Chains A and B, each alone.
Chain A
Amino acid sequence: MKPKVAFFDFASCEGCQLEVINLEEKIIDLIDVVEIVSFREAMKEHSDEYDIAFIEGSIQRPMDEERLKKIRGNAKILVALGACACIGGVNKLRNEWSVDNVKEEVYGDADIEGNKLFDAFPTKAINEVVDVDFYIPGCPINKVEFAKVVSHLAIGKTPQLPNYPVCVECKKNENICVFELGKFCLGPVTRAGCNAICPQFQDGCEGCRGFLEDPKMEAQKDVLRKYGIRLDDMMKRFNMFNYKKGVY
């Protein structure tokens, strides 16, 4: 029997689900292998009976937490889809300020008191709420990697993310190192799997796939210093997708 698959979204741009739809004709192959029972961005039908749940987005409110826990209860396998779900992503930037400050900045004088839709807490990645079985990182995800994870799950092989930095993919693609173009790059500390898409287009890596298990941060900072990057610019870049309270 084909495994039943459902997609869910929380605080996100839904761009990762869009990447799944961008598989285009390969989707036909995909539904030969799995049965999609819930995918708001692509279809009307919905079912709470599924084996694999793909979660896009980060967690902002108690009601999100509740919903996510319910999904976890229904799913045999739960997969985080994209930077927001995997590491909190850009949504975590707001954790630099208190929730009250953020609400005031965003909603001003609007009357949101007591409305649970606005009952926010500091942003959480989904693994801060439930157990996550597998991750498909990136902003947005790499649809090729998505297809690979699905095929691994279908054939019974544990999906594994590359445990090497983006530099490896840059070299294999014979990209010119963006440092040589006078730009700066987090590729040396960021998990590969994106096929070095940003450096391929002469842009520095922003770390959207999250850092490696054992990133050489000090070596990376030395390199950034060597190329004349100021500390605050460095921290802005580190924090963009990988926000951390305090200093990296």
Chain B
Amino acid sequence: MSKREWLDFVDRLINEDEMEVIGVRAKGSKFQFAPIDSSEELRLDYNVTILPPKKQLLPPHEDLMTYDISKPFNVLSSKDEGKKILIGVHPYDVIAIQQMDEIYLGTHRDEHYDARRKNTLIIASDILNVPERSFSGSLGTHVVEDGFDLLITDLGDMVAVTIGTKEGEELLNTFAEPGEATDEDEMKVKRLRDELPAKYQRKLKVDKYQWEKLLEENYDHPIWEENSKKCLTCGSCTLVCPTCFCYDVEDVMNINMKEGKRVRTWDGCLLRDFTLVAGGEVFREDLKDRYRHRYYRKGLFLPMRNGFVACVGCGRCATQCLPDIADPCDVINTLASYSMHEKVNFPIPDVKQAGIEEGLLVPEPATIVKKERMTELETLYEIKLDSGKELGHKPGQFIELSIFGIGEAPISVSSSPGGMTFELLVRRIGHVTNKLESLEVGEKIGIRGPFGNGFDVKDLEGKDILFVSGGCGLAPTRSLINYVMEHRDDFGRVTILYGCKDPKAILFDRDLRSWGDVKDVTVKRTVDSCPDGECWDGDVGLITTLIPPLDMDPENTIGIVVGPPIMYKFVIKELKAKKIPDDNIIVSLERRMKCGVGKCGHCQMNGIYVCLEGPVFKYNDVKDIPEAF
């Protein structure tokens, strides 16, 4: 169509009340996607926008749900279902949106993203001016074949339109009267695309299929340390990225203390608190590790998980990074020139999980039916889902516990599967768990889950089982111990070792004693120290001291280790000394499991999502993962 016809088409779309037209327009000397009032504002000659069009599908701030805490359980999912048309999306951003679709619409489909995506049409545009820092020409993301509804090519006096979908075709035929493209028009479009790569100032020395190998061989490359020293840790590189999808969630109350909302906001792995858990531990404290993680995630971990390099070469990160250390093109080229050739493997355990179809982010109502104080810090709660359904968990899985107005916390389930209620042992350590303590029996909480990979009980049948639990680690372990006790004949000898700080900190003492009364079950309890005058009938000393005296058949014994992060290394060393093969050791690890469904990114250990592939792992699967122990 002619340029005039194109502009008329755009204006007709703008005049349509049903939909909002978001186009590329100038912002000062830069460009942004924003609502346009007239086709004249549209700037197809732009190089790159400050933020990618991702913001229309996953906004920087987004209400997930609203609630009224003056009522027992009053929660409403917020969904944005307004119709939108994005005009001027460059090919690299189209590909980035395809990647976002893969993440948010794949396993555990995100209903909030889905609602926006379904109602958004994309009119892509071929690149006229190559962004200065872009290297999409080297990644092949400067052109695109699908992922758009319409694709336009501005040929000066003419605009060529490529139809991508039926919806796009319908839109075109409803609001314009396009003529057939001639062979000459098609040649012009082809020439424009063919000539693009030569216009890039920045080029990768290696193709994208070599990123994975380069990263595998350079985990300890000096570039991570050197560049991270210049890093402001401002997070800009992740925040402007069209393929970054990590998020945080926060509860915000109105000042009247009645209504509130749960808000999703962009988060990024460069920021320190990204891996902070209640209790204060930061799992990626060293800036070098955070700086490196971003490259590994884009170039190795996400390709391993999803089959694509999670970088489209738009160059936004490089443009925004003040010290200029965020450019993947520079970093990959450096690795290609000076490779360390020291291969590290980052295997991702293959865990099959059924996708959660409904209520991914919105909790369901549940009631506290019993509350029992265990120690100064810990309380055991018995919870019943208001739906009357069973929780349906496997031993070792966790749930997300919600208190509206406060937030969510991941808690492992302490009771064995089945039954109309389930138990949670909660340590008062953060906002949610502190607030929970003030709730009474009969009060409502929210539950999402169960999530994660639990213990595979079938794998354990016929085996001797050695449980080694420290502190709160008994909470998830108890769910499996109870299962084993309920199916006692299916398992061999059972040994339960439990250690905690002092006699006052002991958890489930009644259970520990009753398990000890069962046939062929040995229970040993120890405390790190016992203050004078304290009554104590167990051992004194670290939990590791309980292992050497044990009599066991190592080949037929499964060691199940759950405890504070510091415990694993020492306990596993003792188990190895007893000749228990690595293959027979199972661990459960803790990270910041915020969403529970492999999206928010907080719980990652290198390429592993602890909320998906864990928290229960075969030791063999994680022993070589640098961030695991």
Contacts and interface: CB of A to CB of B under 8 A. Distances in A.
B50 A174 contact: yes
A163 B273 contact: yes
B320 A177 contact: yes
A1 B407 CA distance: 24
A216 B229 CA distance: 9
A157 B435 contact: yes
User: Which of B29, B61, B234 lies at the interface centre, i.e. has the most chain A CB atoms within 10 A of its CB?
Assistant: B234
Interface residues of B, number: 42
A222 B323 contact: yes
Interface stretch (A95-103, A106-114, A146-154): A146-154
Interface string B405-437: 111000000000000000000000001001100
A179 B321 CA distance: 11
A219 B234 CA distance: 11
Nearest to A168: B235
Given A167-B234, A174-B32, A188-B234, A148 B252 contact: yes
Contacts of B239: 167-168, 171-172
A26 B51 CA distance: 33
A140 B544 CA distance: 55
B573 interface: no
Contacts, number: 115
Interface stretch (A29-37, A85-93, A119-127, A230-238): A29-37
Contact of B322 (A33, A148, A158, A177): A177
A51 to B, nearest CB: 16
Given A155-B253, A176-B29, A222 B230 contact: yes
Contacts of A241: none
Interface residues of A, number: 43
Contact of A29 (B255, B265, B266, B435): B255
A164 interface: yes
Nearest to B232: A188
A223 B51 contact: no
Contact of B61 (A156, A157, A172): A172
Contacts of A179: 322
Given A164-B271, A174-B50, A26 B255 contact: yes
Interface string A161-186: 00111011011111111011100000
Interface string B166-196: 0000000000000000000000000000000
B253 A168 contact: no
Contacts of B269: none
Contact of A223 (B61, B232, B256): B232
Nearest to B435: A156
A74 interface: no
Contacts of A223: 232, 322-323
B433 to A, nearest CB: 11
A26 B259 CA distance: 13
A223 B252 CA distance: 35
Contact of B233 (A23, A33, A216): A216
Interface string B250-265: 0011111100000001
Contacts of A172: 60-61, 239, 265-266
B320 A174 contact: no
A165 B252 contact: no
A154 B320 CA distance: 39
Contacts of A12: none
Contact of B50 (A33, A152, A176, A220): A176
Contact of A216 (B232, B255, B268, B320): B232
A59 interface: no
B579 interface: no
In the complex, the 6 A-B pairs of residues with the closest C-beta atoms, listed nearest first: A167-B234, A171-B239, A172-B60, A29-B256, A188-B232, A151-B253
12 contacts: A152-B253, A155-B406, A157-B405, A165-B234, A167-B232, A167-B235, A171-B236, A171-B320, A172-B61, A172-B265, A173-B60, A176-B29
Given A29-B255, A189-B232, 5 more contacts: A155-B253, A168-B268, A172-B266, A219-B323, A223-B232
Interface of A: 23, 26, 29-30, 32-33, 147-148, 150-152, 154-158, 163-165, 167-168, 170-177, 179-181, 187-189, 214, 216, 218-220, 222-223, 226
